[in-house]
Amino acid sequence: MTTHLITRSEVVERSKTLSAFPVLLNQILATIEDVDSRLMVLTGYIERAPIIATRVLALANIAAQRRNSSKIRDLHTAITQIGLGRVREIALFSSVAIFIHGFTTASTPSCFWEHSIAVGICGEELAHYDDTPCLANATLIAGLLHDIGQLWFRCFYSADMHEIGNQAHSHSICIEELERERFGIDHATIGFWLAEHWALPKGICIAIRHHHDTDAALSEPLVALVHVAEVLSNALDLFGNPQNRVTKLSTPAFQKLGLVWGSAKRPEFGPLFGRIEARSRHANDLLQLAG
Amino acid sequence: MRKRHCYITVAEAEVGMELGAPATGTKQGKLISMSAGHKLTGDDLFQLAERRVEFIFVTEPDPRPDEQVAVDAAQAAHRVMEIFAGADLSDPIIATLFNQVIIYRSA
């Protein structure tokens, strides 16, 4: 039964009382397209973000230690050593982590952030698997933010969400169905409104909007990537979250990524799973640096 | 001794690890290639990192006794079945994914 209809203006206005969306994130996403100046521009952004610069240096030194190389003390050498792609990944990761921290409350489950990371990194690897590495960073962001609407719900409708969570678990009902019953909309729509308000690229907004309801929006490549990433992150039990479950998946989304036997691009699941797990451990390194 | 294989990131690689599959990378048109069975040196790791190779497939000694291997495999299979307990395994796509995860966990 609907108890309170939530509107777009309520979502946007109330989000302004939470942490401000990081300008850095959109700036970094813009450097993906800017081939000529991206190293210099990205270095400039990171120099102005001490937390991220520290993480880049720390990660470069972990790698240097494993190679028995001397300690790296300056940011330029660190960026050269670990590579532009990896640095951008750290910067995106850190910006979203700091931002999401401002959205979390006492009622936010501890596994929430781990699930978001798992979907983000799984999507990033799927983008490489699908020969669309240019989409890797956008998929990472879409994965990290795909459930941001749930965090919004938990901030402003904590008791309702607690009840909905219990109901969904005990009756095996999709959480988004229960959200729609109570509020008239689900967390995917709230996430979409927020992403649009933050001026995120259109593809990321659409992927957040359609991560449960994919089939009408598969013309946007990020939709299949984020949906399949969520399914695989649960199937592979990334981060060992006890709530990891595979219940339903979109066949067209799997077909779009060639993850179906008999498709033109025969899938090689073993290497794909191995790489996803390796990337997941790498993300865990980043998390420990963040701690 | 039994061996096990896994993908690791180049950042996780250590001197002395053995490649389970060839590793290749290029920089400014210069190719570096290491064959399966090659034991990594500090210079190799530097070369791979410099060429932005992200992952390598390595072979490591597995010191577990047979009984432990069987217990670990059974536990892994049980967890996969728990994860897929609510899934419709008559759907060919879900069934394929389930089978592939079971195979991967048993390897």
CATH code of the domain containing B38: 3.90.105
Cβ distance A82 to B49 less than 8 Å, yes or no, reads yes
Do A66 and A161 share a domain, yes or no?
no
Tell me the percentage of chain B whose pLDDT exceeds 90.
61
Looking at the fold, whether A130 and A237 belong to one and the same domain comes out as: yes
**A-chain residues near B103 (CB < 8 A):** 269-270
Same domain, A61 and A160: no
- Distance in angstroms between the alpha carbons of the first and the last residue of chain B: 16
**Whether residues B9 and B57 fall in one domain:** yes
Residue A4 is assigned to a structural domain of this protein: no
Residue A44 touches chain B, beta carbons under 8 Å? no
Do B93 and B54 fall into the same domain?
no
Does the pLDDT value for residue B6 go beyond 80? yes
Position A110 scores a pLDDT of 75
Domain co-membership, A167 together with A52: no
pLDDT (average), residues B38-49: 89
Q: Which two tokens stand for residue A127?
A: 């983008």
For residue A130, the surrounding DSSP H or E stretch is none
Contact (CB<8Å) A66/B14: yes
Cβ atoms of B98 and B87 within 8 Å: the answer is: yes
Predicted confidence at residue A43, as pLDDT, reads: 78
Q: Where does a domain end: A48, A72, A103?
A: A103
pLDDT tens column, B85-105: 989 999 999 999 999 999 999
d(CA A103, CA B34): 47
Collapsing DSSP to helix, strand or coil, B59 comes out as: strand
Q: How far apart are CA A244 and CA B84, in angstroms?
A: 9
pLDDT of residue A87: 80
Looking at A77, A103, A129, which one is the last position of a domain?
Answer: A103
A260 touches chain B (CB under 8 A): yes
Whether A10 is covered by a domain: the verdict is: no
Q: What is the pTM of this model?
A: 0.87
Whether A63 and A161 map to the same domain: the answer is no
The answer to whether A237 faces chain B, any CB pair under 8 Å, is yes
Could you identify the residue written with the tokens 């047979």?
A: B66
For residues B27 and B10, membership in a common domain is answered with yes
Domain check: are A158 and A209 in the same one? yes
Q: What is the mean pLDDT of residues B54-79?
A: 92
User: Which residue of chain B is at minimal alpha-carbon distance from A235?
Assistant: B83
Q: Do residues B74 and B57 both lie within one domain?
A: no
Q: Nearest CB to B107: which of A69, A270, A279?
A: A270
Looking at the structure of chain A, the number of domains it has is: 2
| Mean pLDDT over each residue of chain B, to the nearest integer | 90
Residues in chain A with CB shorter than 8 Å from the CB of B49 are 63, 67, 81-83
| Same domain flag for A98 and A111 | no
Q: Do residues A136 and A280 share a domain?
A: yes
- H helices then E strands: how many in chain B? 3, 5
Do both A44 and A142 map to the same domain? no
CA-to-CA separations, B96 to A37, A190, A215, in angstroms, rounded:
44, 33, 20
For chain B, the 3-state helix, strand and coil shares in percent, each to the nearest 5, are 40, 25, 35
Contact residues for A61 (Cβ-Cβ < 8 A; gap 6+): A71, A72, A78
- Complex ipTM: 0.89
- pLDDT per residue, tens digit, chain A (291 aa), is 667 789 999 999 999 988 888 887 877 777 766 655 567 777 787 888 888 888 888 888 877 776 677 889 888 888 877 777 778 788 888 888 888 887 887 777 778 888 998 999 999 999 988 888 888 889 999 999 999 999 999 999 999 998 998 888 787 788 899 999 999 999 999 999 999 999 999 999 999 999 999 998 999 999 999 999 999 999 999 988 888 889 889 999 999 998 876 555 667 788 899 999 998 887 776 666 554
Of A161, A167, A209, the closest CA to residue A188 belongs to A209
The encoded tokens of residue A216 equal 């009408």
- Give how many domains chain B has, as a whole number: 2
Last residue of a domain, one of A64, A82, A103: A103
Same-domain check for residues A35 and A157: no
Most A CBs within 10 Å: which of B6, B54, B106, as the mutation test of the A interface?
B54
In order, the DSSP letters of A57-107 are HHHHHHHHHHTTPPPP-SHHHHHHHH-HHHHHHHHHHHHHHHHHHTT--TT
Closest CA to A206 of A216, A220, A187: A220
**What does chain B come to in residues?**
107
Q: Is the dihedral of CA A78, A83, A88, A93 positive or negative?
A: negative
**A165: domain range?**
106-291
Considering the domain architecture, whether residues A29 and A88 belong to the same structural domain is answered as yes
Q: Provide the 8-state DSSP code for A218.
A: T
Residue B41 structural domain: 3-61
Any domain includes A14: no
Residue A213 shares a structural domain with residue A231: yes
Give a yes or no: residue A9 inside a domain: no
CB contact at 8 A, A99 and A19: yes
Q: What are phi and psi of B31, to 5 degrees?
A: -95, 140
Asked if A117 and A287 touch (Cβ cutoff 8 Å), the reply is: yes
Residue A251 has which token pair? 């066949």
Question: What CATH number corresponds to the domain at position A150?
Answer: 1.10.3210.10
